[in-house]
Amino acid sequence: MDWVQMDRCRAAASLPLIKEQNGPSESNAALEFAVTTLQVENILVIGHSSCAGIEALMNMQEDVESGNFTHKWVANGKLAKQRTKAATAHLSFDQQCKFCEKESINQSLLNLLSYPWIEDRVRRELLSLHGGHYNFSNCSFEKWTLDFKECNVKEEEEEESSYVVKEQEFWC
């Protein structure tokens, strides 16, 4: 991975949106510039443990619309929350949040594929999408790669996309 290039284009605390949701223009521009102009070969979406944004998402009422910026920001992870609730209903709230931290990263990786210049380069194997999770409590880092060939990416929002990861690595 070209770490010099990585620092040229980044958005802190950003959940990549689906293209049609008209996310912040600076995030869209940064993604487009990195992929089409710099021709980066890797995009790494990183999350972390004890994420207050994920906790806010998991506490958010399903049927409440809000105009505040925080609500709009964490609402980007709504599908990750739904998947988490479905998979972990039997677990404690803290365990659900831990699961959702990684699920939101994977959802962000799928969201990146809604940008045609990203999807095209991933399909042609010129770009790889990676997820990463940093655990503050034990100073470990987990990294994985989205397996595009095995993913089932849906064009319609009514249909749910699925993902497969490969090349998982763990450092502590």
- CATH classification of 3-171, choosing from 3.90.1150.10, 3.40.1050.10, 3.40.50.1000, 3.40.1110.10? 3.40.1050.10
pLDDT tens digits, one per residue of 134-165: 999 999 999 999 888 877 765 555 456 678 87
Q: Is 172 annotated as a binding residue?
A: no
Q: Is 48 annotated as a binding residue?
A: yes
Domain boundaries, the chain: 3-171
Measured between alpha carbons, how far is 1 from 33 in angstroms, rounded to an integer?
Answer: 18
pTM recorded for the entire structure: 0.79
